[in-house]
Amino acid sequence: MEKISVLLNYFKKTYHRIIKFTVLLLILISLTLLLGGFYSFNLLLEKDNFVKFRWYYFFSFSKQCLFLILITFVLMIFQKNKRIIDIFALCSLVSVIINTIFLRSFIRDWNIYPSSGVPFFNLIIYFLEYIIIPICFVIFYFINGSFKVNYSMLGLTLIHPLLYFIDSYLINLLMNWSEEKIFSTRFFAKQLINPDNQKHLFISYCKIFLAFFFLTAGIIFLQKKKKFLWWKSLFFFSLLLFVSCMALQPKEWLHAKEVVLNPTTMGAGLFPETQEMSEYFQTVSDLTPEELKKNNNKILELGSGCGNVTQYLIEKFGVENIIAVEIDGFLCQELKTHFPGLKVIQGNAAHFETLLQKEKITHQQIKGIVSTLPVGIFDSQDFQSLKTGIEKIVVQNNIKYMNYRFKMFETETREMPELKKINNFVFISEMVIPLSVYTYVKK
């Protein structure tokens, strides 16, 4: 009787934990959808926002994951067919994990782009959708213990991403009928953030579906093993690491290697800037490639790294109109290899005026300056040299200067007092740390 009492008590506690997690998830999802709806509506109304938000952008893959979880809870209440519940629970689990560790840096989610009207609100949406809710649902799924899986479900988790891309394509086609062609691949390219992925559409989409396949297979394998909790935990986290690494480009691994080998000169996160933030640097100038080329004008990038920002500058302004300054010799060679025709100058970007002078490039030729330099770790002499040069050119040419900084490392001693700060958009870094992209102009 005592053993039965202990067993009943265990199940009672587990049941209560499941109920608590269910209520918590329902509250979090409802709150996220409410806040997300408000924020997306705000983006839709903003005329000066670089996102150019449209109403159907609200139904991102991330939002669909939330609806999928809600459907799972509804089925748990009203559906008697246990297999259907198990399938939806598995699909929800795989989708919400893939969305966080893989698709976050792979496909667009316009809902987490920053707003000029409600700054920092995108951070709330991001942390709820990409961190808090996924963690809660993973815990809920595994403490529930009643979800049964088998290898016949292996392909079922691919249905959600497949339906997402199909219905998104059809809505886009319907809303942009005059611009789109029925069999055009432009929409599928636009879904991918990284220009490198856009060039290799088939491989990129294969990677997405392979990520779903591998994660599903791993979770099914994991659930079929009954013992060794520590081993299962190790396997699960190794699986997450493997799937998340599938989203990275070779050049991002090169950047990580250089950060590890040369931390004092690189001074950045392990992996380069997020794609959303990198793309935003395209707003440094309104000039077209033709206008720049005609007058032999240039866009100057300080601290090009592996070229994460460079690729977006090239996409908008043309490779012949960009000057990339990078201190690391290995990365300079990679930039030249990856972007044929790009003008790459090796040297300390803090003294970019001297470097430009040696290359016979005048101040008047510069029509925009972009910096991803870690100014927070610059010594005072280097920063003063950088500051003087930038302020002089921005005022003289009446152009924009854009740079980013991690919020936690910002100091007043690293400001540009002679310039006027006109924008501060907050993004999330690959290390899940908020960072600001500032735009400066002549006062």
- Whole-number pLDDT of residue 64: 94
The pLDDT assigned to 198 comes to 82
CATH of domain 275-442: 3.40.50.150
322-356 burial code (b ≥16 CB/10 A, e <16): bbbbbbbeebbebbeebbeebbbbeebbbbbbebb
- Of residues 408, 432, 434, the one with CA closest to residue 131: 432
- Indicate the domain borders of the chain: 1-247, 275-442
What stretches of 79-178 show up as alpha helix (H) in DSSP? 82-101, 121-127, 133-144, 159-175
* Residues of the chain scoring pLDDT < 70: 1-18, 48-49, 177-184, 227-228, 251-273, 407-414, 429-432
pTM for this structure? 0.81
Q: 70: exposed, middle or buried (C-beta count within 10 Å: 0-12, 13-18, 19+)?
A: middle
SS3 track for 183-203? CCCHHHHHHECCHHHHHCHHH
Tokens found for residue 337? 């290899």
Cβ atoms within 10 A of the Cβ of 50, count?
15
**How large is the greatest C-alpha to C-alpha distance in the chain, in angstroms?**
91
Contact 432, 282 (CB under 8 A): no
Cα separation, 166 vs 151, whole angstroms: 25
Q: With beta carbons less than 8 A apart as the criterion, state whether 292 and 366 touch.
A: no
Give residue 3's pLDDT.
Answer: 45
Q: How many residues does the chain have?
A: 443
- pLDDT reported for residue 8: 39
* The predicted structure's pLDDT at residue 205: 92
